[in-house]
Structure 1
């Protein structure tokens, strides 16, 4: 499949990850454009990646695919500013958390295909989890293009759009949950008498190894947990404390809060 010209509109953390991922995957530099509000940021992107950094109108005129990675509250103004500049044949890929494809379709020329994408920050090490959903007028071919863009960043999955808020709660926000848990383990290790550097190495490698084992073994997490938990042992004592403090309820409540906030963002943007 030939590489379409992709313009990334908004090069914050996620937008830059997309630019970098496209280039790492072999996307030609001349087929990758970026936009930036500040000249200093534009120069930085050009120096770092060698791509053209242009204004939004130029990007809309040159690109086959517009990957919109601005903050959700800025998406409406961006689309209003591009009125009349986006052709119906242009594929619009939204990375705006919480915004439904209908938000874009109502502001784009009739027939413009829209795809909603939720990826996450492990894209920086090619370990992203990316969920892709077809919106109005998007075909299987359009989904293939989106997968071609994001598969080099990690793992992709196709889901119906109504599941995207749940995806946001699990994998979009998910890295922060794990970082918080590892942070807590490190701090606990220090309190238990370990040097901070040693506690950091122990916690990080344990997290990385456990994640690799979970994926590569194909076993259910319950089975892997039980394999570590000896009767009346140290792990059983620790797990009892986590359960006593309601870890399952806390996780469910956290994910529900993230899902609900995604819905609120969509409602506020209408």
Structure 2
């Protein structure tokens, strides 16, 4: 592989310009990690590229141009499209490139098979709250990506939320816990609000308070480093309202249902990986 030419400020490329790509780009730019003028995004049509232009980024319809202009390239295509895209750009991949996939279900081994020997590849599993820079992300590195590549990517992605390195085997679990978990939490938030609506609270107010309750609780858990059981105990007083409510949740099987939901989503992620691999 020939060396790619990149001098001056770091340039970040996006192959695929959907909502997740836009969220990551927005986080990088807002946090000052990368200047908008040094971000280049490609997509087959202008439908999503307009969002990148609104951020001040450059756009193109050529995937090759992204690889030729940027050493750090994030592939944010649909999972079933990624193998064909990797095969397309393989001839212009160089020893200087760091190639990152956010496509679910496409393993590092598949990426390495489709790219030149020694290509430095990593996988990132993001979730939708990256849109508001509160994402929960994990990354896994390929055989030829070292500490410097992983640390660089982690530092950049922390502009979009929390990012931790894990073995690739845990990426599917993250998908079930955090990727799909956004929907699980929304279902719970909706149910909390509907309980208040049933008791006479206006719906708009109920939904706002439910969302704020989730936000505040999450911040306390993260900032204090507490186990959820400890915070639950702090809220629960003998004979009080909370223990009565918790009893009702236990009768409804909340814990078992939540555990089963994460298990089912994780198993599905593994099935999709095998199918695509």
TM-score range, shorter chain: over 0.9
Q: How does 1:115-264 map to 2 (within 5 A)?
A: 115-264=122-271
Deviation at 1:65, TM superposition (A): 1.4
Secondary structure of the residue that 1:37 maps to in structure 2? coil
Instruction: Identify which of 19, 26, 29 aligns with 2:25.
Output: 19
Q: Alpha carbons of 1:263 and 1:3: their partners in 2 closer, same or farther (altered >3 Å)? A: farther
TM (norm. structure 1) is: 0.93
Contact 1:76 1:269 (8 Å CA) reproduced: no
Q: Partners in 2 of 1:23 and 1:89 — Cα distance?
A: 23
The answer to which of 83-92 and 176-185 deviates more is 83-92
Task: Quote the Cα distance in structure 2 between the aligned partners of 1:8 and 1:183.
Answer: 35
**Which TM-score applies when normalising by structure 2?**
0.91
Q: 1:90 to 1:190 in 2, by over 3 A?
A: same
In 1: Cα distance, 2:227 partner to 2:172 partner: 24
Between the aligned partners of 1:43 and 1:152, the Cα distance in structure 2 is 22
Gaps of 5+ in 1: none
Does structure 1 conserve the Cα–Cα contact (< 8 Å) formed by 2:9 and 2:38?
yes
Count of matched residue pairs: 268
Q: Is the 8 A contact 2:73 2:98 kept in 1?
A: yes
User: Partner residue of 2:64?
Assistant: 57
Query: C-alpha separation between the residues in 1 aligned to 2:260 and 2:178?
Result: 15
Deviations 1:192-234 (A, max 9, x none): 2111122122212211221122222222211111121222332
Match of 2:103 in 1: 96
CA distance in 2, matches of 1:231, 1:144: 47
How far the C-alpha of 1:92 sits from its partner, in A, is 0.8
Q: CA deviation at 1:119?
A: 1.6
Change (3 A) 1:183 1:3: farther
Q: Tell me the CA shift for residue 152 of structure 1.
A: 1.2
TM-superposed deviation, 1:239: 1.0
For structure 2, the residue ranges without an aligned partner over 5 or more in a row are 1-7
Is the partner of 2:114 in helix, strand or coil? coil
CA–CA distance in structure 1, aligned partners of residues 207 and 49 of structure 2: 36
Say what the alpha-carbon RMSD is for the aligned residues: 1.6
Instruction: Say if 1:19 and 1:34, in contact at 8 Å, map to a contact too.
Output: no
Q: CA deviation at 1:238?
A: 1.4
2:4 is matched with none
**What is the CA-CA distance between 1:3 and the residue it aligns to?**
4.8
Q: Secondary structure at the match of 1:38?
A: coil
- What is the 5 A alignment of 1:58-77? 58-77=65-84
Deviates more, 1:73-82 or 1:135-144: 73-82
Deviation at 1:29? 2.4
Residue 89 of structure 2: aligned partner:
82
